[in-house]
Amino acid sequence: MSAKYNPLHDLEHLVALAFECLKGVDRAELKRPHRRQAIAALKSVCLIGDAVLRIHPESCFYSDSGQKVWNPTGLAALTRVLMEAAVNVHYFSDTGVSEHELEFRAMIAALHYLRERQDTARTLQAGRPPEPPVPDDWSNVDPGDHPRLLAQMKREGIPNQLAFWQEQLKQNRFFQGLPQRDQDKWLCGKGLFKEERYRGGEQDAGFASRLDQRAGRAGVSGAKYRALRRHFSAHIHSAPHALDQVVWFQPFDPIAVDTQINLPIMVCAAHVGLAIECFVKAFPNCSASLDSQRRSLLATGRAYLWLLNDSSS
């Protein structure tokens, strides 16, 4: 990489800029499901980026306890999650598709979330005796039981929420344009957990669409995205070669530092920059704070993305 680039320094400034973009969001935007999802995705990018910087010993975000700790496993895990969050910023704020399609994506995401919660609740309750009903009058309920009862109310309310979003989905124009078999698939939830395509045209925009396809639409090489995600996932799953890299990692080994420290930082810088650019396109009021220096910073983020996409990099 050219000496003119400093990924760690640039990542620090990109994360700060992403936080600024969030501050510029009108709270009224939270009322629209797809806008809320885009805001949530950028917030995830901000928080994960902040966490990346806090575990890098040479970052100004790092909390020095007197001993520097190099954490390639933590960097790899956080980088993979940040990649996915950045791609989802584009997915929920894509200015190249209709508002109806964006609403469809948000509704599918809501259904996915609720079904995940429902399945988790069923798993945790398996083998346990049925819960007593939540009382209508809480005046004689021990305050210590309030959190448990509130959680029970939320669990028991999931079917009603699912029914609400299914009804919203039926009224969505983009959904109505899909073949009947695909409509049935989304309504019953079969398409929520598999990497399948719906037949709504050339774009595969369903919530369960493959992440590399989403990445490709956002401007990241699908092949490189798969390769990087697989590389960082090895650390998350404690794959043997990843553990071997950690055992032999030394901060004075330039090859180890380049592959286990510098690479994830550059990937993070590229994806935070990508997330910001996608976000400000969809939320123009956030672009007011983009002076020439900040636009230059985003251009640097694009340069990192180009380096990742370049097959020779």
Question: Read out DSSP for 249-275?
Answer: --TT-HHHHIIIIIHHHHHHHHHHHHH
Rounded to an integer, what distance in angstroms lies between the CA atom of residue 165 and that of residue 55? 40
**Do 74 and 36 touch, CB atoms closer than 8 A?**
no
- Most confident range (mean pLDDT) of 153-157, 212-216, 236-240, 278-282 is 278-282
Residues 6+ apart with CB under 8 A from 50: 15, 61
**Res. 70: pLDDT tops 60:** yes
Q: Can you give the pLDDT at residue 63?
A: 72
Half-sphere exposure of 107 (CA within 13 A, CB side): 24
| Dihedral sign, Cα of residue 145, residue 147, residue 149, residue 152 | negative
CA distance 240 to 52: 23
> What's the confidence (pLDDT) of residue 291?
85
Between 205 and 230, residue with greater pLDDT? 230
Burial level of 102, CB count in 10 A (0-12/13-18/19+)? Answer: buried
Per-residue pLDDT for 125 more than 70? yes
Q: Is residue 192 very low, low, confident or very high in pLDDT (cuts 50, 70, 90)? A: low
**Span 6-27, average pLDDT:** 92
Find the mean pLDDT for residues 130-149: 79
The model's pLDDT over 256-313, given as tens digits with 9 standing for 90+, comes to 788 888 999 999 999 999 999 999 999 988 877 788 888 999 999 999 999 888 754 4
Give yes or no for residue 104 having a pLDDT over 60: yes
Instruction: Please report the pLDDT score of residue 205 as a whole number.
Output: 44
Q: How far apart are CA 239 and CA 232, in angstroms?
A: 10
Confidence tier at 77 by pLDDT (50, 70, 90): very high
Tokens at residue 29, please?
A: 């935007």
Report pLDDT digits (tens) over 140-153: 777 787 787 788 78
Question: Could you tell me the pLDDT band of residue 119, with boundaries at 50, 70 and 90?
Answer: confident
The answer on pLDDT for 154 being more than 50 is yes
Contact 256/249 with Cβ under 8 angstroms?
Answer: yes
- Is residue 89's pLDDT more than 60? yes
Question: Which residues does 226 contact at the CB level (< 8 Å), separation at least 6?
Answer: 212
Task: Write down the pLDDT at residue 301.
Answer: 92
Return d(Cα 198, Cα 291) in angstroms, integer.
Answer: 41
Q: Give the containing element (helix H, strand E) for 168.
A: helix 158-170
**Average pLDDT of the chain?**
84
Q: What does the alpha-carbon distance between residue 108 and residue 206 come to, in Å, rounded to a whole number? A: 7
Which pLDDT does position 26 carry in this prediction? 86
| Angle at CA of residue 42, ends 11 and 212, nearest 5° | 85
Q: Within 10 Å of residue 94's Cβ, how many Cβ atoms?
A: 22
Q: Give residue 211's pLDDT band: very low, low, confident or very high (50, 70, 90).
A: confident
What does the pLDDT average to over 6-23?
Answer: 94
Domain ranges of the chain: 7-97+215-309, 99-126+146-202
Least confidently predicted of 32-36, 111-115, 255-259: 255-259
Mean pLDDT of 179-206: 60
**pTM for the full predicted model:** 0.85
C-alpha distances in Å from residue 132, one per residue of 83, 124, 136, 147: 43, 16, 12, 15
Asked whether the predicted pLDDT for residue 199 surpasses 50, the reply is no
